[in-house]
Amino acid sequence: MVFHLVESPDDVKVPLVGFVVSKAVGNAVVRNKVKRRMRAIVANHLAEVPVQARVVVRSLPDAAKADFSQLEADYLSCLRRGLRRRDDRLAAG
């Protein structure tokens, strides 16, 4: 999973999350299954995302073989790493 998190200075007060699942992940049925799982995971953990965040989650081909708990653990790891990096940037600047 590839995870990008940036904060937008505009007036939007809700986090925006986008998903990228390429054809390398599998056929349309597999890609949609991965997207549905990722949407459910993000919905369960949306409170952890800052309100002005813009997040892009790109699923890699291994996501097709992963179960829900593996995808969730990977997402949470990426989210925490992204938040740490954001906090480091805010503290430095």
Q: What is the pLDDT of residues 83-92, one digit of tens each?
A: 999 889 888 8
Rounded average pLDDT over 37-64: 96
Going from the N-terminus, what domains does the chain have, and what CATH number goes with each? 2-88 (3.30.230.10)
Q: Using 50, 70 and 90 to split pLDDT, how confident is the model at 46? A: very high
Positive or negative, the Cα torsion across 83, 47, 15, 24?
positive
pTM score of the predicted model: 0.89
Nearest-angstrom CA–CA distance, 84 and 9: 19
Nearest-angstrom CA–CA distance, 18 and 4: 10
Longest CA span, the chain: 44
Rounded average pLDDT over 41-59: 95
Tell whether the model's pLDDT for residue 10 goes beyond 80.
Answer: no
Closest Cα to residue 76, out of 47, 34, 33, 36?
47
